[in-house]
């Protein structure tokens, strides 16, 4: 994925960012309350916990209790590229660190800070190998497993129960069956605090509504509708320029991918196929989704569409920017992409104000469902060294950070105000949010748009609400406001549509054989699927792929997955 695509993904997955994604407004892709009242309730609960009197704090140490004597914690973290900090401030010295110090009397000493991921991982791996880890780090899954096995990290079970704030516990509690927090548990002990990935990064169907109207086509819901629209958009000159320059459904050689643009996930999911995921089939067997008969069926469908010209014939060679250019240049009018595609699509509206993009929960299967695979519940973990003198400081810092990130504590609303500096400059940089974060704020937008009621809004939402209200009053006049509205409000509402049906994998992590052989197996899979879709190989090639996949490591992985979920 190229830089522009990656920046959009980061803007979305960094669910709490207060910096605009593709605009100049202060925005975030996460949400805190079911409606205005419950949002305030979450904030009030946290404030109440934070507002203990000094006498109470003296009696019992708690989530927000300030240390009497200064506590210094060592930290290893990935730096922030383009952090926009003003002159004189740095990652090691800034207002966010001062805020944490003022609240808790905790000073942060950076053992290391590296901006690029590879460089950071090298530092972490070296620290693990030399058994000289800082008090606190955020690590990936493989690093977490190594540290858990070596016994170098602290058991946070009791610390979490005592020191995690109500808001932090609400975040983790919003994920069914404790599935996120469980990823940080080893043998019943909580050894790491996982990040969370909100629902909604699955692909929606995006269609040019103005083109539908022009060609007298209905809003699509079924796969037959998608085919008819792709054919009409390719053949009937929807842009009206008299040239045969429009394409059908856009595609990407990635084929499928959570949070990816232009991939074919919805067509696989329509067939009850879930590539690259581990789940239970109808017989209760644990299977790899890329090897099922349903996946073969989906590949046949895609191959037929490609042969008929319904899928862009050049998708195999196009880069992300090429597809985005087809969209902005009004040469494409139907695609699959996540809710945050709203910012990319706004480029089309900028050049063609008549463009009307509609997000849809489709195509639907025979039961009227849009099956989706939720994002992996976590991918990184905050860990604390077993030698840390004050391991509870990690929880206290996390509590205080989210008072600031969520703008619950009023003074935090003035930190770097209007300077474009993001919350990523807080020391811990662990991403947390509610599972249904996007859908939770839709009632707030509804209240503002329908009733013009701006009372009691959460401070964190005001910039976005202003965008939605501005675009509602003067549609498309401010492209940044339009993009925010299209993404957060209109597409955000679709992520919570009643048609959305979640198919939860039984396993998200990696195994020993995955690490060793996963790259080759993935290459085999992608190349086979692309050959089938484009007609370079017959559908029978799928059966050969399954056998090869099994014999070259797939069966070993399946056994490891089975063992890990017992």
Q: Would you say residue 333 lies in a domain?
A: yes
> Do 188 and 234 sit in the same domain of this protein?
no
Res 545: pLDDT: 99
> Do 183 and 307 sit in the same domain of this protein?
no
> Do 301 and 421 sit in the same domain of this protein?
no
Contact 97, 108 (CB under 8 A): yes
Domain boundary (425, 444, 464) is at 425
> Do 178 and 215 sit in the same domain of this protein?
no
Contacts of 112 (CB under 8 A, 6+ apart): 76, 123, 127, 134
Evaluate if residue 276 carries a pLDDT over 70: yes
Q: How many domains does the chain have?
A: 2
Q: Would you say residue 381 lies in a domain?
A: yes
- Euclidean distance between the first and final Cα of the chain, in Å? 35
CA dist 298 and 542 (Å) reads 11
Evaluate if residue 11 carries a pLDDT over 70: no
> Do 213 and 350 sit in the same domain of this protein?
yes
Per-residue burial over 108-137, b if 16 or more Cβ lie within 10 Å, else e, is: bebbbbbeeeeebbebbeebbeeeebbbbb
pTM of the model: 0.85
Q: Determine how many CB atoms are found less than 10 A away from the CB of residue 542.
A: 20
Res 24: pLDDT: 30
> Do 95 and 189 sit in the same domain of this protein?
yes
CA dist 1 and 244 (Å) reads 29
Contact 539, 532 (CB under 8 A): yes
Domain that holds residue 142: 71-199+377-425
Q: What is the CATH number of the domain that holds 141?
A: 3.40.190.10
Which tens digit of pLDDT belongs to each residue from 88-120?
998 889 999 999 999 999 999 999 999 889 999
DSSP state for residue 507 in the 8-state scheme: B
Which tens digit of pLDDT belongs to each residue from 113-158?
998 899 999 999 999 999 999 999 999 999 999 999 999 999 999 9
> Do 167 and 224 sit in the same domain of this protein?
no
Split at pLDDT 50, 70, 90, the class of 8 is low
Is it true that the peptide bond before 484 is cis, omega within 30 degrees of 0?
no
> Do 118 and 258 sit in the same domain of this protein?
no
Q: Percentage of the chain surpassing pLDDT 70?
A: 89
Q: Which of 255, 321, 337 is nearest to 290 (CA)?
A: 255
CA dist 108 and 123 (Å) reads 18
Contacts of 446 (CB under 8 A, 6+ apart): none
Which tens digit of pLDDT belongs to each residue from 343-399?
999 999 999 999 999 999 999 999 999 999 988 888 899 999 999 999 999 999 999
Q: Would you say residue 314 lies in a domain?
A: yes
Which tens digit of pLDDT belongs to each residue from 280-322?
888 888 999 999 999 999 999 999 999 999 999 999 999 999 9
> Do 193 and 209 sit in the same domain of this protein?
no
The Cα angle at residue 105 between residues 102 and 107, in degrees rounded to 5: 100
Which tens digit of pLDDT belongs to each residue from 30-57?
333 222 223 333 333 334 344 444 444 4
């Amino acid at each position: 994925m190229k830089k522009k695509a990656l920046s959009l993904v980061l803007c979305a997955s960094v669910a709490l960012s207060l910096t605009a994604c593709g605009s100049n407004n202060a925005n975030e892709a996460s949400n805190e309350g079911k409606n205005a009242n419950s949002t305030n309730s979450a904030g009030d609960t946290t404030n109440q916990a934070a507002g203990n009197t000094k006498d109470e704090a003296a009696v019992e140490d708690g989530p927000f209790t300030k240390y009497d004597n200064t506590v210094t914690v060592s930290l290893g973290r990935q730096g922030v590229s383009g952090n926009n900090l003003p002159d004189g401030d740095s990652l090691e010295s800034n207002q966010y660190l001062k805020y944490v110090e003022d609240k808790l009397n905790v000073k942060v000493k950076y053992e290391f800070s590296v901006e690029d991921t590879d460089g950071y991982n090298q530092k972490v791996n070296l620290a693990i190998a030399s058994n000289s880890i800082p008090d606190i780090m955020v690590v990936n899954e493989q690093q977490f497993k190594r540290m858990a096995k070596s016994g170098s990290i602290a058991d946070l079970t009791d610390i979490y129960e005592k020191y995690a704030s109500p808001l932090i516990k609400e975040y983790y509690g919003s994920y069914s069956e404790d599935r996120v927090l469980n990823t940080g548990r080893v043998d019943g002990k909580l050894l790491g605090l996982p990040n969370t990935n909100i629902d909604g990064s699955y692909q929606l169907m995006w269609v040019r509504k103005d083109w539908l109207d022009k060609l007298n086509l209905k809003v699509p819901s079924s796969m037959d509708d998608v085919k008819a629209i792709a054919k009409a958009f390719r053949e009937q000159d929807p842009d009206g320029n008299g040239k045969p320059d429009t394409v059908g459904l856009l595609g990407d050689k990635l084929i499928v991918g959570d949070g990816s643009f232009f991939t074919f996930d919805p067509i696989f999911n329509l067939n009850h196929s879930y590539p690259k995921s581990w789940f239970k089939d109808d017989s209760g067997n644990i299977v790899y989704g890329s090897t099922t008969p349903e996946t073969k069926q989906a590949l046949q469908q895609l191959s037929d569409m490609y042969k008929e010209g319904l899928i862009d014939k050049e998708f195999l060679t196009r880069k992300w920017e090429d597809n985005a250019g087809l969209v902005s240049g009004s040469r494409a009018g139907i695609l699959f992409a996540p809710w945050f595609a709203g910012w990319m699509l706004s480029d089309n509206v900028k050049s063609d104000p008549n463009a009307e993009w509609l997000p849809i929960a489709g195509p639907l299967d025979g039961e009227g469902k849009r099956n989706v695979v939720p994002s992996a519940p976590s991918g990184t973990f905050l860990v604390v060294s077993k030698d840390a003198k004050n391991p509870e400081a990690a929880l206290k810092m996390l509590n205080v950070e989210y008072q600031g990130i969520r703008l619950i504590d009023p003074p935090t609303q003035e930190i770097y105000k209007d300077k474009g500096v993001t919350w990523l400059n807080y020391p811990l940089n662990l991403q947390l949010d509610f599972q249904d974060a996007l859908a939770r704020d839709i009632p707030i937008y509804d209240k503002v748009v329908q009733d013009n009621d701006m009372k009691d809004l959460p401070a964190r939402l005001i910039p976005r609400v202003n965008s939605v209200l501005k675009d509602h009053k003067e549609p498309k006049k401010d492209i940044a406001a339009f993009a925010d509205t299209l993404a957060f409000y209109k597409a955000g509402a679709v992520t919570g549509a009643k048609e959305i049906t979640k198919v939860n994998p039984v396993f998200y992590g990696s195994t020993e054989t995955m690490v060793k052989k996963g790259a080759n197996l993935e290459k085999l899979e992608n190349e086979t699927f692309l050959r089938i879709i484009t007609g370079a190989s017959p559908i029978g090639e799928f059966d050969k792929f399954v056998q090869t996949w099994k014999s070259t490591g797939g069966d070993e992985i399946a056994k490891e997955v089975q063992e890990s979920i017992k």
